[in-house]
Each structure stands twice: as structure tokens, then as C-alpha cells.
Amino acid sequence: MKKKNTAVIGTGWFGRAHARNYAQESTLVAICDVNEALAQNVAKQYDNVHAYNDVEQMIKNEKIEAVSIVTPPSEIPRLTEICAKAGISVLMEKPLGLDLESVQKLRQYDNVRIQPGFIELYNPVIEELQKHLPEIGEVLTISSKRIGLFPRRHWGMGVVLDLATHDVYLQQHFLGAVQDVGAMLRYFYSEQYEDAAYILLNFGKSKGSIESNWLTPTKYRRMFVCGSEGSIEVDFITQEVHILHGSDLTGDNPRTIDTCVQPLRQEEPLRKEILNFLNDKVPRVTLEDGIKTMEVVLKILNIGGSRKS
């Protein structure tokens, strides 16, 4: 299979990770960043890769088939539209934008693939979770906890758009459409953007909860799925899956049986996501999935009060 010509827009640490994977899985031809010195620094790490500080100039000069946009979210919809108009498929990093209208506008570009970047869907623990899900019966609740230490208030957003977005998408993936939401948001060090959030999602018979903050000095990414016959806990960082069943719970010696599973091959989720974007006919995440997730996230912010007056 002929490798596609690709480019990366944005040279932050995650943009550099995209470039590394594109260099391995495609023909990386260009790097673009408003800071041309940064773009040149990344481009020179690879053979025959050109650096640009203007997206339209890059498109004019290069034959590009697919691009990742890894910039602050305020710029992602505009840059996606420029690329889509030029017939270039786009992998949009999350969050897809800061307002729903600019993202919904991208629906008109059905001539190319526009794929949101929900990287956790490609984590091997999700495949293991789906494999063992029938063992725990009917899913009753899903609880997610995601903690980081890199506030991105300068991107014009709080922790809900930054971190909780991942778990809103994953819970919808397993439980379907959200019927109602509840939220408590806390503003510890910013009066404009929330630093911590506790979110409740109503899926009908099943319920979801999400706890996120970007202040606690640790990195924590876990999800706990409770079913009528047992439960499953996944750790997105260690890529461990724990299947929990009770034994003799009404007797004198109740026990919990914990079966730990680790994927035989620890794979980089970003690489799997990029391979799906470049090579698979059917995307695992669609633009509509991204829009539905953004609708829920913005509703959470509206209910919880995303900005203080």
C-alpha cells in the first residue's frame, strides 16, 4: 500500500508525538507552526520534511493527503476548514473547539475524512474491557477519574473541556446517548475557568460519574464499570484490567476474586489511532461522535457555570 503524504500542524509535545508516528507510518512531508523556529526544529529531525509558519502556504507548496491539527482548540475548527476545502483529511485533536457552531459547520465537508482524536478509545485496555464486558452482566454504573497537573487556562478553557471530555466520550461509547447531566464545578485558582469538576451523566437505566481536576500533583486515569454480575476496573496508564467477582458473599467468608489482565503487547494508543485514520476505511470515531460529546460537555459547563461573572 502506497503511504500517504502527511503533515502536522502544531509543534507542542503532542504535535511532536504525531510527527514521530507519521514519520513511521506515512510519508511525512511538512511541519507547520506559527513559530517557524519550532517548526524547523521538528522538521529537521526527519528527512525531506519542510517547515512552514503558514498553513495555506504549506498546502500550496506540498501534496498533502492527511494532516493532524494539534493546536490550541480555538484554532482547530478554522484550520480544519482550510484543510478540508483543499481536499485534505483531518485528524482533529481534542477538544475540537471552544464553541459548538464552529465544529458543526464542518459537517458540510463530507468529501474528506474529518476524525476527532479520542485517543483513549485506542488504548489496549478498552479492547480488553469490551472482551470481558459480558462477564459482568448488565452495566449499572461507570465511574471515571482523571487527574492531571497541566492547567491550560491560557487556551481559553477549564478542566472539563481539557480532561473530562475523554470520559464523556468513553461513557457514551459504552452506554449510548446521555439523557441528562448534573455537575459541580470548583474554581480554586481561577475565577474564569474551572479547576475541578464532578459530573453525573444519566443514560437511562445506567448512570455515569466523572471526577476530574488538573491541580492534584499526580497523573491518574482510571475507569470502573459495575455490572449486575461483577465489575471491571481499567488503568489507562499501566494498561491493567481487573475483573472482580464476588464469592460466597452471603456466607461467613465473603471474598472478592480479582483477575488481573494485561495486554500481551503494550501498544501506543496514538499509533493505533493514526493507523485507523490513515488506513482503515471505517473510522472508529466520527465527526458526529465528536459533536455529540461536545454538546454534552458544553451542557455540563452551562449547568455548572463555566465562567464566573
Lowest mean pLDDT among 11-15, 218-222, 244-248: 244-248
List, in order, residues 6 or more apart from 77 with CB less than 8 Å away: 96, 97, 102, 103, 105, 106
- The 3-state DSSP class for residue 244 equals strand
List, in order, residues 6 or more apart from 196 with CB less than 8 Å away: 159, 185, 186, 188, 212, 213, 214, 215
Beta bridge partner(s), residue 67: 7, 90
Q: What percent of the chain has pLDDT over 90?
A: 90
CA distance 127 to 226: 17
pLDDT, position 246: 87
Burial letters for 241-254: b for 16+ Cβ neighbours within 10 Å, e otherwise?
Answer: bbbbeeeeeeeeee
Give 114: exposed, middle or buried? Use CB within 10 Å, 0-12, 13-18, 19+: buried
Beta bridge partner(s), residue 185: 197
pLDDT, position 110: 92
Mean pLDDT value of segment 221-232: 97
Contact by Cβ (8 Å): 28, 3: no
pLDDT, position 300: 96
pLDDT, position 229: 94
Q: What nine digits make up the cell of 29?
A: 512531508
pLDDT, position 20: 98
Contact by Cβ (8 Å): 97, 39: no
pLDDT, position 263: 74
Among the residues of the chain, which ranges form H helices?
13-25, 36-43, 55-61, 76-85, 100-104, 124-132, 159, 165-175, 269-279, 287-304
Third-level CATH fold of 5-117: Rossmann fold (3.40.50)
Mean pLDDT for the chain? 94
Give 281: exposed, middle or buried? Use CB within 10 Å, 0-12, 13-18, 19+: exposed
pLDDT band, very low/low/confident/very high, at 88 (cuts 50, 70, 90): very high
pLDDT, position 249: 79
- The 3-state DSSP class for residue 293 equals helix
Q: What CATH homologous superfamily does 121-269+295-304 map to?
A: Dihydrodipicolinate Reductase; domain 2 (3.30.360.10)
Q: CATH topology of 5-117 equal to that of 121-269+295-304?
A: no
Rounded to 5°, angle at Cα 126 from 136 and 271: 170
Please determine, for residue 305, whether its predicted confidence score (pLDDT) is greater than 70. no
Residue type, 25: E
Q: How far is CA 123 from CA 77, 106, 170, 199, 240, in A?
A: 26, 27, 11, 23, 11
CA distance 212 to 255: 31
Sign for the CA dihedral angle at 127, 294, 75, 84 comes to positive
Residue-wise pLDDT tens digits, 114-156:
999 999 999 999 999 999 999 999 999 999 999 998 898 999 9
Beta bridge partner(s), residue 69: 9, 92
pLDDT band, very low/low/confident/very high, at 1 (cuts 50, 70, 90): low
Contact by Cβ (8 Å): 19, 8: yes
Domain boundaries, the chain: 5-117, 121-269+295-304
Which phi and psi angles does 246 have, rounded to 5°? -90, 150
Which residue has better confidence, 35 or 250?
35
Q: What nine digits make up the cell of 175?
A: 452506554
